[in-house]
Amino acid sequence: MLKLIDLQSYYGRSRALNGVTLTVPKGEITGIAGRNGTGKTTLLKTIMGLTDASAGQILLEGQDLSARPTHERAAAGIAYVPQGRGIIPDFTIRENILMGAFARRDGKRQVPEIVAELFPYLAANMARPGGVLSGGQQQQLAIARALAAAPDVILLDEPNEGIQPSIVEEIEAVILRLKEELGLTVILVEQNIGFLRRAASNFAMLEKGRIVESGPIAALSDAVVERHMTI
């Protein structure tokens, strides 16, 4: 489904990713872990074409996207839920969701039916401004916006960060449904190792912009976590 080959990425003249090669299986969740500042967010931004410069290949179903602008990568089937969610506070819930629909390949501009099933609160409050929502509700909104693009691949950057405990379990359940019911390929940046072990089929551990450990999720042992995530 998605292959990254010798991926390099830069902010200005500083290299943030250094030779990342990774195969992301179709219809599975691949977890990305590592300490803060190791390149996890940069990896997702590089896939979307949001860093200053990059090199290497990004192949989606064999199609090389590495020279494509961000909007063409989105139209090719990649959706991104950024850290901090990135919703527009003055836009209504409906307007925020419909922003994602501009990347749909079939031209439809509509709120996906699955949104009402996954996020009943959003469906019942479509006219409310996004800025009045709680952090957890805004995370739900950001995922709904991504789903409006009808993507094949969804990139999730620490979706549980700063979320009230009462909604964390709901967000985790939705992420599992993205794979199990919608058949989406998911790249999940997540510091909660317990959730990664429950959700992901594969993982990659980043350190200083490189993958230092990777493989099936069963290989994400306590020793690996201690070696690369303990401060």
Q: What does pLDDT average to over the chain?
A: 95
How far apart, in whole angstroms, are the C-alpha atoms of residue 126 and residue 36? 35
pLDDT digits (tens, 9 = 90+) for 49-62: 999 999 999 999 99
pLDDT digits (tens, 9 = 90+) for 91-138: 999 999 999 999 998 888 999 999 999 999 999 999 999 999 999 999
pLDDT digits (tens, 9 = 90+) for 189-211: 999 999 999 999 999 999 999 99
How far apart, in whole angstroms, are the C-alpha atoms of residue 82 and residue 62? 25
Report the percentage of the chain scoring pLDDT > 90.
Answer: 91
Listed residue (115, 214, 199, 113) closest to 156, CA to CA = 199
Query: In the predicted model, is pLDDT for residue 167 greater than 90?
Result: no
Instruction: Work out the number of other CB atoms within 10 angstroms of the CB of residue 120.
Output: 11
Name the H helices within 149-221.
Answer: 165-180, 193-199
Question: What are the φ/ψ torsions at residue 19 (nearest 5 degrees)?
Answer: 80, 45
Question: What amino acid is encoded at 218 in this protein?
Answer: A
The reply to whether CATH 3.20.20.70 applies to domain 2-85+151-229 is: no
Question: What amino acid is encoded at 209 in this protein?
Answer: G
Query: In the predicted model, is pLDDT for residue 231 greater than 80?
Result: no
* Spans of all domains in the chain: 2-85+151-229
Pairing type for strands 53-60 and 63-64 reads antiparallel
Q: What is the pLDDT of residue 11?
A: 94
Q: What is the pLDDT of residue 45?
A: 97
